[in-house]
Every structure is written in C-alpha cells, then in structure tokens.
C-alpha cells in the first residue's frame, strides 16, 4: 500500500511540475493582454517579464498586442483580438513545439533549432496546420469564414488541412506567398500576397519601440550566440558594449604623480 501511495504521489508531483513548466517569457505588451493558467478559473492581466507556462492560454483584447519569447529564442507576436494556447514544447532530445491559434493572428519567428531532423514547430488552427523548420510566417484564423490564412515571410512554410481521417495534401508557401484553408477543404495553391494586405498583417504583429526590448532577427541572434557567456556569471558583450566597457575616470581615485622634470645636460 505504501508503495502504491508513493507511486501516486510521484505521478501527481510530475503532473504539477509539467503544468508549471515555463516555456517562455512575455517580452512586450501593448494595450490589454491576458493569460489563463491551467486549472485557473479566471483570466489575469499580463505584463512584460511575466512567465508563460505549458498549457497557458493567451489572448489580446481589441487594443492589445503581445510578444512572447520562447526559451529556445523563437518569438511569437499576437495581433489584437487573438487567442493562442501553448499545447506542447520539448527541447530534448528533439525540439518540438505546438500551439493552437483559436482566433486572430500570430507571427512566428522560428529559430534554426527546428531545422534539425525530427524537430517540429507547428501552429494549428481549427482548419489547418502550419509547420516550419527554422523560418518565419504569419497565420490568421477567421471564425466567421472558418478559414485559415498562412503567409510566408522567410524560407518555406508547409501547410496542410485538418481533415477527418486524412493527413491532407500539403502545400509549400514561400516568402510573400499565401494560402487559404477552409474547413473540410484542401489548401489553395499559394499565390502572391497583395503588398497592402501584407503590410497590414506585419503592422498588426509589430509592437512599438516602447513595448519591451527590441527582438533581434534570427540571423542577428545567431551571430550573437558566439558572444554569449561561456560560464555562469560571465558577462556577454556586443561589439557596441565592448567599445564602451572601458574603465571610466573616477574622481575619487588619486591622480598619478606627474613625471619628473628632465635633467639638464651640462654644457661642453
């Protein structure tokens, strides 16, 4: 009996630890954004620096935008009036992340960690699944039309329909291209996205300069990896920081004595 109780307790503690697993951090908020933690009965306001947990549901109001940085450095940005759930995230032995977009628009900037074999980064909507291997895209779900729009921003985004008992055909969406997927239908052939529409989607998923620190692009982030601390407690410096990280004049520090005057030479 004692062994059975110990097993039940271990399972319970594992479930609690999984529910409280931190998968990312809020890096910026504009307007109103909220979170519903697993098992909680009410939505709570989000602020910059708040943790995001496995199983959390995130939503933005009509005036709100939200930027989330995952623990593996991928970045998700929610447009106003959006609702996203964190379904799964594993970092080892293979990176796997899954999110459910229940309403609205999300932009994903995905790190190259997901370009490894068997790695997977997916955003699911009620009608489609967008999967990438280290790239960036925008996904939007309109419940009124019951339709998903996926726009490629960089490299290739693979999109398939969510069909009953069928994996569904998959289309590849390149930069500046878009596909639409309605419930029960296969993805449309990708077409060029109108510049005005693409600009509007980018603007809806872009926070202003005052909403959190700027997030570097994936290429910039990869370049900075070489200058990250190698040991705990060691400070990472960018080139700009290295230029200014020099000892400054301290008025309390005594000045060094002046050099002695030159010794006059005797005349010959």
Has residue 151 been placed in a domain?
yes
User: What is the predicted pLDDT for the residue at 8?
Assistant: 41
pLDDT in tens, 94-141: 889 999 999 999 999 999 888 888 889 999 999 999 998 778 999 999
CATH number at residue 54: 2.60.120.1440
- The token pair that represents 210 in the structure block: 């005052």
User: What is the predicted pLDDT for the residue at 187?
Assistant: 95
* Count of beta carbons in the 10 Å neighbourhood of residue 267: 4
Read off the pLDDT of each residue in 84-92 and give the average, rounded to a whole number.
Answer: 91
78 touches 65 (CB < 8 A):
yes
User: What is the predicted pLDDT for the residue at 135?
Assistant: 86
pLDDT in tens, 117-130: 888 999 999 999 99
pLDDT in tens, 152-170: 999 999 999 987 655 568 9
CA distance 6 to 15: 14
Q: Per the structure, how many domains does the chain have? A: 1
User: What is the predicted pLDDT for the residue at 259?
Assistant: 62
Instruction: Give residue 195's domain range.
Output: 19-225
Give the list of residues 6+ apart from residue 113 with CB closer than 8 angstroms, or none: 72, 73, 74, 95, 119, 134
Has residue 24 been placed in a domain?
yes
Has residue 242 been placed in a domain?
no
Whether cis (ω within 30° of 0) applies to the bond prior to 93 is: yes
Has residue 1 been placed in a domain?
no
Single pTM value for the model: 0.71
User: What is the predicted pLDDT for the residue at 258?
Assistant: 63
CA distance 127 to 162: 5
Has residue 105 been placed in a domain?
yes
User: What is the predicted pLDDT for the residue at 211?
Assistant: 63
């Amino acid at each position: 009996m004692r062994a059975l109780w110990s097993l039940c307790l271990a399972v319970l503690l594992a479930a609690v630890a999984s529910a409280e697993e931190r998968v990312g951090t809020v890096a910026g908020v504009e307007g109103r954004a909220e979170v519903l933690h697993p098992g909680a009965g009410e939505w709570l306001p989000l602020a910059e620096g708040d943790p995001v947990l496995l199983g959390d549901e995130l939503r933005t109001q009509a005036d709100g935008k939200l930027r989330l940085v995952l623990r593996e450095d991928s970045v998700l940005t929610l447009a106003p009036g959006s609702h996203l759930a964190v379904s799964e995230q594993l970092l080892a032995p293979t990176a796997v992340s899954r999110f459910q977009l229940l309403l609205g628009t999300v932009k994903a900037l995905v790190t190259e960690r997901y370009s490894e074999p068997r790695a997977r980064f997916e955003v699911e909507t009620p009608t489609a699944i967008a999967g990438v291997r280290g790239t960036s895209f925008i996904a939007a779900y309109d419940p009124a039309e019951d339709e998903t729009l996926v726009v490629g921003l960089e490299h290739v985004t693979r999109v398939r329909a969510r069909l009953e008992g069928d994996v569904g055909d998959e289309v590849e969406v390149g930069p500046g291209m878009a596909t639409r997927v309605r419930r029960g239908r296969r993805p449309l052939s990708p077409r060029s996205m109108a510049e005005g529409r693409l600009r509007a989607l980018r603007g809806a998923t872009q926070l202003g300069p005052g909403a959190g620190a700027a997030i570097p692009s994936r290429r910039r982030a990869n370049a900075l990896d070489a200058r990250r601390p190698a040991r705990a407690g060691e400070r990472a410096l960018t080139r700009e920081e290295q230029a200014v990280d020099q000892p400054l004049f301290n008025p309390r520090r005594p000045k060094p004595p002046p050099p002695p005057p030159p010794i006059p030479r005797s005349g010959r």
